């Protein structure tokens, strides 16, 4: 597994495994504490693993946490997703940068998203499973949702949106959310 910095989002990394393929199928290491530690991320900081299954066209996000936020390791474990990270750390050199990725079960690439960045994705396949490793215990009172279609972000969602949560459907534009983060 190797760690590759993502220049568009300061402190973000792409962890690329080296899958082994033979007549049985594929084996891939999806997390390696030594590799994570080698780029300055504490592997012991992750306290929660979560998973989602989405139908094709579903958008989840853009989600963010108030206060200190939360860092995430995100991977598509089945199918494919269009993944989005938005840097919303005011002191970051890449503040307000948007970066997109296609994450697939074939590549098993994991994206490290630093605390203070918003995250979302759209399922490209039927279904798409996403696995998350998160460094904060969930606190629903700290959840923030940003409109996925905010024109100031210009996210090029590849498919028509087929469904989203009620919270995401009523998410506010970034300009309204930035002032409420504290």
Work out the pLDDT band at 67, boundaries 50, 70, 90. confident
CA distance 31 to 54: 23
Helices and strands in the chain, H and E counts: 3, 13
pLDDT of residue 107: 94
**What are the residue numbers of the active site?**
63, 132
pLDDT of residue 1: 94
Is 131 strand, coil or helix? Answer: strand
Q: What is the pLDDT of residues 44-54, one digit of tens each?
A: 999 999 999 99
Helix extents (H) in the chain: 33-38, 166-169, 174-178
pLDDT of residue 179: 67
pLDDT at residue 182 is higher than 60? no
- pTM attached to this predicted model: 0.94
pLDDT of residue 105: 95
pLDDT at residue 170 is higher than 70? yes
pLDDT of residue 98: 98
Work out the pLDDT band at 178, boundaries 50, 70, 90. confident
The residue extents of the domains of the chain are: 2-16+30-178
Tell which residue, 116, 136, 120, 145, has the closest CA to residue 52: 120
The domain 2-16+30-178 belongs to what CATH superfamily?
Answer: Jelly Rolls (2.60.120.10)
Beta strand extents in 18-116 (DSSP E only): 20-22, 25-27, 48-54, 59-65, 72-78, 80-87, 98-104, 110-113
Q: What is the mean pLDDT of the chain?
A: 95
Q: What is the pLDDT of residues 3-31, one digit of tens each?
A: 999 999 999 999 999 988 999 999 999 99
Strands lying side by side in the sheet with 98-104:
98-104, 80-87, 117-123, 59-65, 143-145
Give 34's Cβ-side CA count (13 Å radius): 3
């Amino acid at each position: 597994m190797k760690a590759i910095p993502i220049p568009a989002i300061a402190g973000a990394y792409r962890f690329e495994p080296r899958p082994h393929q033979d007549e049985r199928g594929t084996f891939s290491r999806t997390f390696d504490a030594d590799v994570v530690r080698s780029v300055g991320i504490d592997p012991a900081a992750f306290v929660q693993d979560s998973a989602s299954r989405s139908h094709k066209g579903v958008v989840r996000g853009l989600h963010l946490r108030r206060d200190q936020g939360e860092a995430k390791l995100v991977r598509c474990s089945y199918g494919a997703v269009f993944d989005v990270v938005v840097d919303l750390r005011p002191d970051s050199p890449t503040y307000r940068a948007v970066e997109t990725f296609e994450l697939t079960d074939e590549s098993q690439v994991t994206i490290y998203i630093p605390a203070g960045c918003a995250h979302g994705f759209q399922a490209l396949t039927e279904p798409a499973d996403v696995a998350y490793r998160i460094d904060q215990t969930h606190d629903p009172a700290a959840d923030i949702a940003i409109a996925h279609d905010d024109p100031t972000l210009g996210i090029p969602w590849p498919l028509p949106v087929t469904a989203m949560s009620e919270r995401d459907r009523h998410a506010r534009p970034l300009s309204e959310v930035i002032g409420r983060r504290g």
